[in-house]
């Protein structure tokens, strides 16, 4: 099928929940993907910070084949070696923790909220305005953007929102009912926004003083995305609970709640569960993905090329007055404009690059961690051309 036939037929059979780019992805290799009309793209979005190893990485393919021939799913009624191996690997990455395997970011956060209430025997959850934590009823309520939750009232109770980065507001909101504070280290969907180390350190202190859990939502920032294995390492944070998903499985759906040993005891048999969470296949692929990140020094690549990417983007900021800010860590970069960026995404796609626009005016760049300098260079050249076109148009329009 060609792009057009696929796109035309979607509304007949699919719920209309996504604003999609007008191409159908057919296949990929490394940082490149192709659509059904045969057009080639450099993928600087990686399926929302998921495809850390790019597309069709040999280690992922080998694991999919080998594990697929053994057993794909067996249910959590039985033990499985791959779960244990992945749990041990995660325990090495975040010491003194135990893990629960889920299937997605929303599920990981939903489970973390349940765990916090069960462990602390308290009820309230505080999250940040402009945050994003998922689409289940509890996580959409934790998400600090009313547009996502308003249509679905009544929402679960016990959720409060504070301004991200405002420590006094947080102090005034925490009380003896606060079970947990859940934060992204870098707000991804909200526009690649972070706070400083002193804010997060204060949050840790407030949590300790109030016997409140700190949950860091590393669904988007985890597994090398921000130039560290976890973004918590940027500020040397020790959360009680870390939730992960997106990048964990090199494209395979998987999520996890990683809680410190003591908090993990909050869940006892029957308290929480999932049919699919941590299948032998999902765990095998996650192990392969994480080991490849470590073996191929992709965290270093994320840090170094992230710095390079930002440096090159900053040169463009000097050239175009509508670029307001360049920010982010590692290969999670935001380019804030004072104009919307949807048409820039269109122009980039037509020139062979997949990028994303979030929060209306922030270009979100989250390439696979295997991206090379040359690919960044041709993108910079292309986006420079696009920015020039736009500034020419705005001058003509004056």
Ligand X SMILES: *Cc1c(COP(=O)(O)O)cnc(C)c1O
Residues forming contacts to ligand X in the complex (CB under 6 A) are 104-106, 109, 132-134, 184, 188-189, 217, 219-220, 245-246
Across the strands, what pairs with 35?
Answer: 25
| Least spacing, CB of residue 134 vs ligand X, in Å | 4
Find out whether the peptide bond into 333 is cis, omega within 30 degrees of 0. Answer: no
| Least spacing, CB of residue 110 vs ligand X, in Å | 9
Q: Which CB atom, from 103 or from 292, has the smaller least distance to ligand X?
A: 103
Q: Which CB atom, from 190 or from 227, has the smaller least distance to ligand X?
A: 190
* Unique residue bearing structure tokens 């949050």: 203
For the record, the structure tokens of 230 come out as 């976890």
Q: Could you report how far apart the first and last alpha carbons of the chain are, in Å?
A: 44
Q: What distance in Å separates the CA atoms of residue 214 and residue 239, rounded to the nearest whole number?
A: 5
| Least spacing, CB of residue 161 vs ligand X, in Å | 15
Q: Which CB atom, from 133 or from 347, has the smaller least distance to ligand X?
A: 133
| Least spacing, CB of residue 276 vs ligand X, in Å | 13
CA distances 57 to 30, 41, 248, 368, Å, are: 7, 17, 14, 11
Query: Under DSSP, is residue 161 helix (H, G, I), strand (E, B) or coil?
Result: strand
Q: Which CB atom, from 87 or from 140, has the smaller least distance to ligand X?
A: 140
| Least spacing, CB of residue 384 vs ligand X, in Å | 29
Neighbours of 118 (CB within 10 A): 17
CA distances 231 to 86, 236, 244, 277, Å, are: 20, 9, 11, 24
For the record, the structure tokens of 72 come out as 């794909």
Q: Which CB atom, from 128 or from 299, has the smaller least distance to ligand X?
A: 128
Q: Which CB atom, from 13 or from 18, has the smaller least distance to ligand X?
A: 18
Of 134, 123, 190, the closest CA to residue 163 belongs to 190
Q: Which CB atom, from 106 or from 207, has the smaller least distance to ligand X?
A: 106
Closest residue to ligand X: CB criterion? 105
| Least spacing, CB of residue 391 vs ligand X, in Å | 32
| Least spacing, CB of residue 70 vs ligand X, in Å | 26
Torsion angles phi and psi, residue 285, rounded to 5: -70, -40
């Amino acid at each position: 099928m060609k792009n057009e036939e696929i796109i035309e037929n979607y509304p007949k059979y699919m719920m209309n929940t996504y604003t999609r780019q007008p191409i159908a992805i057919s296949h990929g290799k490394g940082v490149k993907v192709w659509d059904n009309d045969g057009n080639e793209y450099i993928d600087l979005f990686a399926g929302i910070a998921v495809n850390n190893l790019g597309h069709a990485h040999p280690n992922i393919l080998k694991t999919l084949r080998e594990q697929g021939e053994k057993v794909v799913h067996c249910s959590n009624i039985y033990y499985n070696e791959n779960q244990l191996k992945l749990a041990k690997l995660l325990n090495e990455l975040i010491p003194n923790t135990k893990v629960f395997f889920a299937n997605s970011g929303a599920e990981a956060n939903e489970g973390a909220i349940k765990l916090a209430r069960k462990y602390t025997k308290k009820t309230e959850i505080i999250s940040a305005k402009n945050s994003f934590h998922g689409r289940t009823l509890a996580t959409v309520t934790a998400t600090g953007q009313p547009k996502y939750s308003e249509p679905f009232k009544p929402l679960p109770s016990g959720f409060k929102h504070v301004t991200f980065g405002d420590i006094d507001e947080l102090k005034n909101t925490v009380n003896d009912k606060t079970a947990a504070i859940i934060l992204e280290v870098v707000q991804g969907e909200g526009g690649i926004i972070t706070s400083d180390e002193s804010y997060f350190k204060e949050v840790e202190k407030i949590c300790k003083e109030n016997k409140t859990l700190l949950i860091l939502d590393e669904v988007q920032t985890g597994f090398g995305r921000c130039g560290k294995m976890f973004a918590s390492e940027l500020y040397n944070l020790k959360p009680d609970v870390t939730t992960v998903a997106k990048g964990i499985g090199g494209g395979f759906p998987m999520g996890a709640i990683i809680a410190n040993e003591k908090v993990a005891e909050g869940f006892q048999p029957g308290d929480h569960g999932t049919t699919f969470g941590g299948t032998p296949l999902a765990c095998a692929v996650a192990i392969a993905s994480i080991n490849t990140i470590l073996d191929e020094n992709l965290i270093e690549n994320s840090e170094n090329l992230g710095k390079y990417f930002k440096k090159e983007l900053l040169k463009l900021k000097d050239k175009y007055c509508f670029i307001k800010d360049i920010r982010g860590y590692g290969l999670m970069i935001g380019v804030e404009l004072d104009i919307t960026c949807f048409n820039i995404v269109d122009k980039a796609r037509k020139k062979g690059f997949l990028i994303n626009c979030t929060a209306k005016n922030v270009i979100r760049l989250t390439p696979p961690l295997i991206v090379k300098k040359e690919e960044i260079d041709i993108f910079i050249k292309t986006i420079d051309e696009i920015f020039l076109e736009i500034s020419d148009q705005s001058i003509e329009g004056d």
